[in-house]
Amino acid sequence: MNGSSVVGWADLPADGYRHDALLYDDADELVATAVPFLLRGLDAGEAAVIATSARTASVLRDALGDDPRVHVLERGDVYSARTPTAITTFRRLAEQRTGEGVRRLRVVGEVDFGETERDWLEWQRYESVINVALAQWPLWGLCVFDTQRLPEPVVESALLTHSSVVTPAVRAPNPRYVAPADYLTALPFPDEPLEATAPRISVPDVEDFIALRHAVAAELAGVDAPRDTVEDYLLAVDEMTSNALRHGGPPIAFRLWVGTDRIVCSIEDRGPGFTDPFAGYGPAHGDDLSRGGMGLWLARQLCDHVDLSGGPDGARVRLTVRIG
Sequential DSSP letters for 168-219: SSBEEE-TT---HHHHHHHS-----GGGGS--SEEESS---HHHHHHHHHHH
Q: Are residues 139 and 34 in the same domain?
A: yes
Q: Are residues 212 and 98 in the same domain?
A: no
Beta strands in the chain (DSSP E): 18-24, 47-52, 70-74, 105-109, 139-146, 164-166, 171-173, 201-203, 253-258, 262-269, 305-311, 314-322
Per-residue pLDDT of the chain (324 residues; tens, 9 = 90+): 333 344 443 444 446 899 999 999 999 999 999 999 999 999 999 999 999 999 999 999 999 998 999 999 999 888 877 888 899 999 999 999 999 999 999 999 999 999 899 999 999 999 999 999 999 999 999 999 999 999 999 999 999 999 999 999 999 999 999 999 999 999 999 999 999 999 999 999 998 989 999 999 999 999 999 999 999 999 999 999 988 888 778 899 999 999 999 999 999 998 877 778 888 887 654 554 343 457 888 999 999 999 998 777 788 999 999 997
CA distance 3 to 149: 27
Nearest to 142 by CA among 163, 160, 126: 163
- Contact yes or no for 127/143 (Cβ under 8 A): yes
- Contact yes or no for 254/241 (Cβ under 8 A): yes
Pairing of strands 262-269, 314-322: antiparallel
The last residue of one of the domains, among 185, 203, 218, is 185
The answer as to whether 11 is a domain residue is no
CA distance 101 to 213: 49
CA distance 155 to 16: 25
Q: Are residues 91 and 201 in the same domain?
A: no
The answer as to whether 65 is a domain residue is yes
The widest CA-to-CA distance across the chain, in whole angstroms, is: 67
Task: Give the per-residue pLDDT at 195.
Answer: 96
Q: Are residues 230 and 111 in the same domain?
A: no
Q: Which domain holds residue 206?
A: 193-322
Q: Are residues 127 and 242 in the same domain?
A: no
The answer as to whether 12 is a domain residue is no
Q: Are residues 226 and 178 in the same domain?
A: no
Task: Read off the DSSP letter of residue 7.
Answer: B
Task: Give the per-residue pLDDT at 246.
Answer: 82
The answer as to whether 250 is a domain residue is yes
Compute CA distances 290 → 174, 279, 287, whole Å.
Answer: 40, 18, 9
Q: Are residues 156 and 227 in the same domain?
A: no
Task: Give the per-residue pLDDT at 121.
Answer: 93
Task: Give the per-residue pLDDT at 58.
Answer: 97
Q: Are residues 23 and 147 in the same domain?
A: yes
Nearest to 205 by CA among 274, 295, 269, 272: 269
Helix axes 227-247, 295-302, angle to 10 degrees: 150
Task: Give the per-residue pLDDT at 9.
Answer: 39
- Contact yes or no for 320/256 (Cβ under 8 A): no
Task: Give the per-residue pLDDT at 163.
Answer: 96
Domain count, the chain: 2
**CATH number of the domain within which 304 lies:** 3.30.565.10
Q: Are residues 169 and 200 in the same domain?
A: no
Task: Give the per-residue pLDDT at 293.
Answer: 53
